[in-house]
Amino acid sequence: MKYLFLVLSLLFLSCDKDTPNAQSLRGSAIGTTYSIKYFSEDYILMGSEIDSILKDINLSMSTYMPESDISRINYGELVVVDQNFQKVFKASKRIYKDTQGYFDPSVGLLVNAYGFGPLGYSEDVTEKQIDSLFQFVGFNHIQLSEDAQVASSLPVFYLDFNAIAKGYTVDVFGEYLHSKGVNNYLVEIGGEVRVKGKNLEKASPWKVGIELPVANNSRELMYGIQLKNESLATSGNYRKFRSDSLSGKKYVHTINPNTGQSQKTDILSASVITTTCADADAYATAFMAMGFEKSIQFIEKQNAIKVIFIYSDSEGNQKTYISPELQSSVEEF
């Protein structure tokens, strides 16, 4: 499963040492890569276990697989969805309401129209096309019935959980390790991360890095941060965009669900730290659409969300906002 929502790369800042109970596993997953590091004296995580988890999630929520539940629903079939789908749907509904629609999984028709999805158009998108599709966007019109079927008052809709499902997958990996008695781990998929316990090699909290937002393939760390039983997800617009072949106009992959427009806000990257990676993933998406001022107003009313925003001020200068609770654990490079 590929994911439309490009996150900033997360780099490990700890080095590998010969520790008897240190285990690691790396591989490919959902259109990107995963890396898992954990400590256990009596359990070894096998690649086949990871593959099994990924297969279930793909068959549930991959818009790139025609046989998945979400694809069949988008094609108009009635499907009894599994627990993975139900959990992501309910989390999405909660965050949709919490952010007043800035996080909206029903924006999939527009994602495809702008050329960022599996059904991306070959022709250049027009305002008329966007207006015609925007009437079919609105997660408030889509419900999950008691018998686990998706119903909607919209004649046409297209669900896309790509802005939350990667974080959810990180959570599933972490919860699976916990079920095996692993209490110290770091799970990372394409930049989304969840940690528990400590990095026992260093006898210290897990430490990860956040990159400088630059519109090329260079990778330069800007901040390092310690995480304690937390999750982190980062979103940015500076690498994921497409250009209109006629006008040269750039369309960023973050779409404002309240306007239907692919519009770049003053936030260059939004790193969100909270309990679950699914929530961090979804809120990072919402903040990119909200912009800096609205996002700050939102998080000031929250107790469980901490952020690092790299943004442009009114004069075009790059600045950083770090939640007060994070400042003692953030290191600038």
User: Tell me: the pLDDT tens digits for 146-184?
Assistant: 999 999 999 999 999 999 999 999 999 999 999 999 999
- Mean per-residue pLDDT over the chain, rounded: 85
For residue 6, the model assigns a pLDDT of 30
For residue 314, the model assigns a pLDDT of 85
Residue 202 scores a pLDDT above 70? yes
Give yes or no for a contact between 224 and 331, defined as CB atoms under 8 angstroms apart: yes
For residue 15, the model assigns a pLDDT of 42
For residue 262, the model assigns a pLDDT of 72
Residue 1 resides in a domain: no
Q: Which residues pair with 236 in a beta bridge?
A: 269
Q: How far apart are CA 308 and CA 41, in angstroms?
A: 36
Q: What is the mean pLDDT of residues 105-134?
A: 71
Q: For residue 75, give the nearest of 83, 65, 85 by alpha carbon.
A: 65
For the entire predicted model, the pTM comes to 0.86
Residue 240 scores a pLDDT above 60? no
Residue 246 resides in a domain: yes
pLDDT over 90, % of the chain: 62
Residue 260 scores a pLDDT above 70? no
Q: How far apart are CA 310 and CA 133, in angstroms?
A: 32
pLDDT band at residue 253 using 50, 70 and 90 as cut-offs: low
Residue 66: how many CA atoms within 13 Å on its side-chain side? Answer: 1
Residue 4 resides in a domain: no
Q: For residue 8, give the nearest of 190, 245, 247 by alpha carbon.
A: 190
Residue 320 scores a pLDDT above 50? yes
Give yes or no for a contact between 167 and 5, defined as CB atoms under 8 angstroms apart: no
For residue 109, the model assigns a pLDDT of 83
Query: Does residue 296 or residue 20 have the better pLDDT?
Result: 296
Q: For residue 184, give the nearest of 40, 293, 68 by alpha carbon.
A: 40
Q: How far apart are CA 175 and CA 178, in angstroms?
A: 5
For residue 261, the model assigns a pLDDT of 72
Residue 117 scores a pLDDT above 70? no
Which residue in the block uniquely carries the two structure tokens 């749907």?
89
Residue 168 resides in a domain: yes
For residue 108, the model assigns a pLDDT of 82
The two tokens of residue 55 are 């297969």
For residue 119, the model assigns a pLDDT of 58
Put residue 58 in one of left, alpha, beta given phi > 0 → left and psi -120 to 50 → alpha: alpha
Residue 5 resides in a domain: no
Residue 2 resides in a domain: no
Query: Cβ of 304: how many Cβ atoms within 10 Å?
Result: 10
Q: How far apart are CA 232 and CA 235, in angstroms?
A: 10
For residue 124, the model assigns a pLDDT of 63
Give yes or no for a contact between 282 and 95, defined as CB atoms under 8 angstroms apart: yes
Q: What is the mean pLDDT of residues 141-145?
A: 97
Q: What is the mean pLDDT of residues 229-244?
A: 69
Q: How far apart are CA 176 and CA 50, in angstroms?
A: 9
Query: What is the domain range of residue 253?
Result: 10-332
For residue 20, the model assigns a pLDDT of 56
Question: pLDDT per residue over 25-77, tens digit each?
Answer: 999 998 899 999 999 999 999 999 999 999 999 999 999 999 999 999 999 99
Residues contacting 304, CB < 8 A, separation 6+? 274, 275
pLDDT band at residue 112 using 50, 70 and 90 as cut-offs: confident
Residue 280 resides in a domain: yes
Query: Does residue 6 or residue 81 have the better pLDDT?
Result: 81
Residue 236 scores a pLDDT above 90? no
Q: What is the CATH number of the domain that holds 133?
A: 3.10.520.10
Give the number of domains in the chain: 1
Residue 16 resides in a domain: yes
